Amino acid sequence: MTKVGGKGLGIKCDIRNEDEVAAAVKQAVDTFGGIDILINNASAINLSPIAQLN
C-alpha cells in the first residue's frame, strides 16, 4: 500500500474496553498525527434472532 502512497495501521482493539480504545487512538495519533478515517472491522457473528440478542 505504501508503494502507491497509502498509509494504514492495523490495531487489534476490543472496543468494549475503554483503555484499549484510548491506547489505539494514541497509537494512531503517535503514528500519523491524527485520525482521518477509522474503519471498524468487527468479526463477531451471532446468528440468533434479534429478539434474543442482548
CA distances 33 to 14, 29, 51, 53, 54, Å, are: 22, 4, 42, 38, 37
- CA 37 to CA 22: how far, in whole Å? 16
pLDDT band of 2, cuts 50, 70, 90: low
Could you tell me the three cell numbers for 12? 487489534
Q: What is the pLDDT of residue 20?
A: 94
CA 35 to chain centre: 11
Could you tell me the three cell numbers for 50? 434479534
Tens-digit pLDDT profile for residues 8-52: 888 888 888 999 999 999 999 999 999 888 887 776 677 788 888
Residue type, 39: I
pTM above 0.85, yes or no: no
pLDDT band of 1, cuts 50, 70, 90: low
Q: What is the pLDDT of residue 43?
A: 67
